[in-house]
């Protein structure tokens, strides 16, 4: 693979032993491969993504972070034959504590399904190495301009602050202290759910520039507003506590590290675009939908195509991992996402099943990295299409009744129709 450029960072200084190769790494597939290779070079075992449908965790509907599969390792209940791991994890944030469903389509950086790159230390290295390697990966390896990187630390985490300021030479006006869990402010304090491993975190953000600034009354600034300018790329969580049912924080048996780097966000920065939806893999899905709708991906139509692209990924990946649309729990979440996509199809005046075709494009674009997509292609296409047909029938019947009610009201110059009358129309 041409990605094996071999810049190995020294364990003592964390610095690269030779300058980074000039060939830029930009596609999502390349970034994914290079990240895993980088951490392998730093002694990590590369672990496969766990399934999106958690097998033995009743607290979760879907896998929502790379650390889920290591939950019992953090709490000391389970041990592995490695102390450092790295992965690219399939995640869904559509329910429970981490739910981004309503953000999708509104901004340029939230998704239902996304890929999270991560590295972990289980009682091995801690803040120093994690932050150094994170910084080096972004600056030395990926070539990001360090003057556009901003950092945040938990309110009293002087250790992380000093690593950024003194060891990595970050100007202190680009390091912000955030959060205060005693006051209910969980900024820079990460937990998987209401119970379980948690701890303070340090985040690495990319300043997307003045042009993307918002007009927040207190000023557009990291920690003040929540706009696309301050793009959170990488979260480094320092796992120290286990939160119990009563909300009490108990120290974990060992201090660990859990990081998460948004692959789509890093790709957007490296590809010089202002939205995750303009990155290579998303553009292919949007082009696919534009072809189906026979419309250009512009204006409102583009927003709908973005939502459809996002939701097609969620549907394809969850169906591949064995979930099925239904009327409760996990299945209901999938049904809702699928129907939300169909509603956007309607806005594009596509009234025939179409989502299964976009799901096929997901299989084409991501099947190399996730072979389960190819293995489950028939399941994905069949179930998605059946769901679409069923919903469109229901929607079609509803729209017909609505039309008849309107006709009745117009003909009789009425402003109200009772439920009983509407049901009669249905007969």
Per CB under 6 A, residues contacting ligand SER are 65-67, 118, 190, 235, 237, 258-260
The CA distance from 1 to 172, in Å, is 39
Cβ proximity to ligand SER, 260 vs 297, nearer residue: 260
Nearest of 116, 135, 128, 131 to residue 70 by alpha carbon: 116
Least Cβ distance, residue 247 to ligand SER (angstroms): 19
Cβ proximity to ligand SER, 42 vs 339, nearer residue: 42
Cβ proximity to ligand SER, 141 vs 258, nearer residue: 258
Cβ proximity to ligand SER, 157 vs 258, nearer residue: 258
Is residue 72 classed exposed, middle or buried when 0-12, 13-18 and 19+ CB atoms within 10 A define those classes? middle
The CA distance from 209 to 112, in Å, is 26
Least Cβ distance, residue 161 to ligand SER (angstroms): 19
DSSP letters, 161-182, are HHIIIIIS---GGGEEEE-BGG
Cβ proximity to ligand SER, 193 vs 325, nearer residue: 193
Least Cβ distance, residue 137 to ligand SER (angstroms): 15
Least Cβ distance, residue 308 to ligand SER (angstroms): 26
Cβ proximity to ligand SER, 168 vs 237, nearer residue: 237
Is residue 283 classed exposed, middle or buried when 0-12, 13-18 and 19+ CB atoms within 10 A define those classes? middle
Least Cβ distance, residue 276 to ligand SER (angstroms): 16
Nearest of 317, 324, 310 to residue 375 by alpha carbon: 317
Give the residue closest to ligand SER by C-beta.
260
Nearest of 275, 412, 367, 31 to residue 425 by alpha carbon: 412
Nearest of 108, 153, 423, 65 to residue 269 by alpha carbon: 108
Least Cβ distance, residue 65 to ligand SER (angstroms): 4
């Amino acid at each position: 693979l041409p990605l094996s450029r071999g810049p190995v960072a020294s364990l003592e200084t964390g610095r690269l032993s030779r300058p980074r190769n000039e060939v830029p790494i930009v596609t999502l597939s390349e970034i994914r491969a290079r990240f895993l290779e980088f951490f392998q070079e730093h002694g990590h075992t590369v672990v496969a993504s766990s399934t999106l449908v958690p097998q033995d965790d009743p607290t979760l509907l879907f896998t929502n972070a790379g650390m889920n599969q290591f939950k019992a390792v953090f709490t000391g209940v389970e041990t592995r034959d490695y102390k450092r791991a790295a992965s690219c994890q399939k995640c869904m944030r559509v329910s429970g504590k981490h739910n981004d469903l309503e953000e999708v389509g509104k901004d340029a950086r939230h998704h239902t399904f996304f890929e999270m790159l991560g590295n972990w230390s289980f009682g091995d290295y801690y803040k120093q190495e994690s932050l150094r390697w994170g910084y080096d990966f972004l600056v030395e390896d990926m070539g990001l301009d360090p003057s556009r990187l901003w950092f945040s630390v938990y309110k009293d985490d002087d250790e992380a602050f000093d690593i950024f300021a003194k060891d990595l030479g970050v100007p202190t006006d680009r390091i912000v202290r955030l959060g205060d869990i005693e006051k209910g402010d969980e900024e820079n304090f990460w937990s998987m759910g209401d119970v379980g491993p948690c701890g303070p975190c340090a985040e690495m953000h990319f300043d997307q520039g003045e042009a993307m600034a918002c007009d927040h009354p207190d000023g557009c600034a990291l920690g003040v507003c929540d706009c696309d300018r301050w793009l959170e790329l990488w979260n480094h969580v320092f796992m120290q506590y286990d939160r119990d049912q009563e909300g009490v924080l108990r120290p974990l048996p060992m201090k660990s590290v859990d990081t998460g780097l948004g692959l789509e966000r890093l790709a957007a920065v490296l590809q010089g675009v202002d939205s995750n939806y303009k990155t290579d893999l998303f553009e292919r899905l949007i082009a696919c939908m534009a072809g189906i709708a026979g419309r250009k991906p512009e204006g409102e139509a583009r927003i709908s195509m973005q939502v459809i692209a996002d939701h097609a990924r969620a549907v394809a990946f969850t169906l591949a991992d064995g979930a099925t649309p239904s009327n409760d729990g996990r299945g209901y979440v999938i049904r809702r996402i699928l129907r939300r996509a169909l509603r956007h199809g309607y806005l594009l005046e596509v009234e025939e099943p179409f989502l299964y075709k976009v799901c096929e494009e997901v299989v084409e674009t991501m099947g190399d990295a996730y072979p389960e997509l190819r293995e489950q292609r028939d399941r994905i296409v069949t179930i998605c299409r059946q769901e679409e047909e069923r919903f469109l029938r229901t929607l079609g019947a509803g729209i017909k009744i609505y039309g008849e009610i309107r006709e009745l009201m117009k003909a009789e110059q009425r402003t109200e129709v009772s439920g009983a009358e509407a049901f009669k129309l249905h007969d």
